[in-house]
Structure 1
């Protein structure tokens, strides 16, 4: 996070709210290397934080008001009474910060109002967890300003509860854990049940690699019901199999389990079980010092998301195909799906050519131009000023 970004949000706060903030906090977006739709099944994931972050200037208030403004918004300031916060009463982007304040109060914590000014560089709707970044920036700011003393996993759970119960998105905890707990130069091996984490070194540059994010610009809203239906299907399957969660189904028992399930649940279960296995294989390959060996796992994971989980779309499929054809070692969609972004692991010397190939393929297909950026393993949520 650059000093310029901190200075910009500080100046924006002065312009909107008058005076200086009590501090400036940042929480990053994330890409998930592997482990998609596993977190709400108590499974495993391997995300990393991005340099792009939600940057938030905050000042405590003593009158119970929550005043919210975004540099990416419509220019208006939203004013809410903290005591009146409740699910369904807040719309648009403001439901994420309001939801965190509400979730803290639901825990019985003595938090009140604040002036907030947001300036986020995380693209919205791109599958890079812009909402989790905002939630986690609010959570870490409130934790310090109100002296709550919550751990990183506790802050992630608060942010997840805000998104589940207040914003209406039944996500797992992976996005929030990545935003809070990642460290620079590492991927985060996450056990979504215990919230145990392991920092896995990820030195792509030292191995002559780049990880590209190909934003298809197909925007998705996970609150529209499709995500919830997937989660409900997984929970139904676990119940039919007599399991606490699909994480508890060993890979060796998958074939026998599938014949016991209704046809509509078979592909969901197959994806979750095989995806958990891909996470473990990815961690082994990183630990062995061969990050280039992640490539085939990415492409394999995309096929599972496309064919079994059915959360891909024409644009993400084309981005994967064009990237691999142009020299990427592997590629897959990242995030909840229904649009968003693709990640591609590429030799450093091929990065520009892969980006051009995907852009050209989109133009030939009549799609809008994708955005191309590089993912660099970055630090999690923190105070920056």
Structure 2
């Protein structure tokens, strides 16, 4: 029987093809993520609760003697190159910026970053809000760290990957995606305090409770490098300044009514209310799961999170609202959009038996057909391990 190709084997084959039959020094893997709850809280110094997916990005990598970075994308079927000395904000366009930006960010830390030959392949749906870009950054960051002997810990690598996305790509994202990709653990959620970068692993064994987490790719275009995401971030900054706090994380639920009364702009009030209540929902989910509660109890918190994103933060679109509503109507215990918004995926907490999963999938598909939307794609998520080296070239 022939082995089914995987992103790792495909990346390695693509490396040989792109670089004249050469072998990589090794292959590295980094997963995408879904965020169970805690949206737009990360850049507000708040709390998030993602899990690393089984889907991810593989990078076959060979270190070079110069500072040239050559990257072949199997998806794009193209190879691009740049000298690392020429990389800076505004100098690299498109997908190469995610890789070149990591090298630039590492160099900013003062380490000796040499060039690489890289071939990448992945199985994360692009544009679905599952952090394919962070997976790419983290796979390459870990490879650079291992091959260069930098000795950087995973928080430092996450910071470099985030800086690549912020400063080189131009996406004003927080650090959650990179931390989840690097720190994910099978069977667990990663509870992250984005202020301290403290991590706790929270048990998330849905199968033991007869449950599954269905991921519904809304097929709505998803892009974070745009004015909408930047506007939400700017409004949170304005809200914190108006309330005299360092970040909205510093406003507790008990203080929320008084805080909202001090804001004259209704839009700003709604933005602040989402962040403050979303932080509280994350903490409540962590309390429930850490105490051994039936995960079904977190369903209503997921659903309230979606309503908050829809009405207060205004980041959902008709496709994700339709998917969430259809899943709930079909019997899901909770459903919510995940990711930065304006497209992306919906999570639905459902019974794990095949009939329940199929019924939910079919209900969503029917609702999409009735609305005239493109059919969604759906899969069951599994909490998986984070970024790691998976192969090395034999020595000797």
* CA drift at 1:7: 2.2
Q: Which residue is 2:288 aligned to?
A: 285
| Preserved contact between residue 99 and residue 137 of structure 2 (Cα < 8 Å) | yes
CA contact 2:8–2:121 (8 Å) conserved in 1: no
> Which among 317, 326, 348 is matched to residue 352 of structure 2?
348
Q: How does 1:242-321 map to 2 (within 5 A)?
A: 242-261=244-263, 262-289=265-292, 290-321=294-325
The match for 1:47 is 50
Report how far residue 112 of structure 1 moved. 1.5
Q: In 2, Cα distance between the equivalents of 1:135 and 1:4?
A: 19
Residues 142-166 of structure 1: per-residue CA shift (max 9 Å, x gap): 1101111111111111111111111
Asked if 1:145 is matched to 2:147, the reply is: yes
SS in 1 for 2:36: strand
Unaligned runs of 5+ in 2: 392-396
Tell me what 2:232 maps to: 230
Partner SS, residue 171 of structure 1: coil
Deviation at 1:48, TM superposition (A): 0.1
- Matched with 2:394 is none
C-alpha separation in 2, matches of 1:294 and 1:66: 45
Q: Which digits, 9 at most, give the CA deviation of each residue in 1:100-155, with x for residues without a partner?
A: 11111111111021001000111111111111111111111111011111111111
Question: SS of the residue aligned with 2:222?
Answer: coil
1:127 aligned to 126, 129, 133, which one?
129
Give the whole-Å Cα distance in 2 for the aligned partners of 1:160 and 1:50: 19
Matching residue of 1:329: 333
Offset of residue 291 of structure 1: 1.1
Alpha-carbon distance, 1:263 to partner: 2.0
Name the counterpart of 1:381: 387
Matches within 5 A, 1:166-185: 166-185=168-187
Q: Give how far 1:343 is off.
A: 0.5
Aligned-residue offset at 1:8: 2.2
Q: Give the TM-score taking structure 2 as reference length.
A: 0.95
Q: Distance in 2 between matches of 1:126 and 1:381?
A: 20
Structure 2 counterparts to residues 7-86 of structure 1, below 5 A: 7-17=9-19, 18-73=21-76, 75-86=77-88
Q: Structure 1: how far apart are the matches of 2:220 and 2:281?
A: 26
- Residues in 2 aligned to 1:257 and 1:5: alpha-carbon distance in whole angstroms: 49
Distance (Å, rounded) in 2 between the aligned partners of 1:313 and 1:178: 25
In 1, Cα distance between equivalents of 2:109 and 2:176:
21
Return the offset for 1:325: 0.2
Task: Supply the distance in 2 between the matched residues of 1:328 and 1:151 (Cα, whole angstroms).
Answer: 39
| 1:3 to partner: Cα distance | 8.1
- Report the counterpart of residue 111 of structure 1 in structure 2: 113
5+ residue gaps in structure 1? none
Q: CA deviation at 1:264?
A: 2.2
After TM superposition, list the pairs within 5 Å mapping 1:161-240 onto structure 2: 161-240=163-242
Provide the C-alpha distance between the structure 2 equivalents of 1:23 and 1:247, rounded to a whole number of angstroms: 41
For 1:380 and 1:3, how far apart are their aligned partners in 2?
21
User: Which of the numbers 343, 349, 357 marks the counterpart of 2:363?
Assistant: 357
Which is worse superposed, 325-334 or 282-291? Answer: 282-291
Please state how far the C-alpha of 1:5 moved relative to its aligned partner.
Answer: 3.5
CA distance in 1, matches of 2:125, 2:216: 12
For the aligned residue pairs, the C-alpha RMSD in angstroms reads 1.0
Aligned residues: 383
Moved more, 272-281 or 254-263: 254-263
Give yes or no for contact 2:186–2:385 (8 Å, CA) kept in 1: yes
SS in 1 for 2:349: strand
